[in-house]
Amino acid sequence: MRQWTAGTTSSLAIIPAHSPEGLHNAVRRLRRGLRDVRDRMVRHRNRWRDVCFAGIADGDHVALVLVTHEGIDRHEVEDVLHRRWPDLVMKSLER
Map out the domains of the chain as residue ranges.
2-92
* CB contact at 8 A, 75 and 6: no
The candidate with the shortest Cα–Cα distance to 51, out of 81, 30, 15, is 81
The pLDDT of residue 77 is above 70 = yes
CA angle (49 as vertex; 45, 54 as ends), nearest 5: 130
| pLDDT range class, residue 33, cuts 50, 70, 90 | very high
Class of the CATH domain delimited by 2-92: alpha beta
The pLDDT of residue 32 is above 80 = yes
The pLDDT of residue 31 is above 90 = yes
Please state the rounded mean pLDDT for residues 35-41.
96
Q: How far apart are the C-alpha atoms of 41 and 92, rounded to whole Å?
A: 21
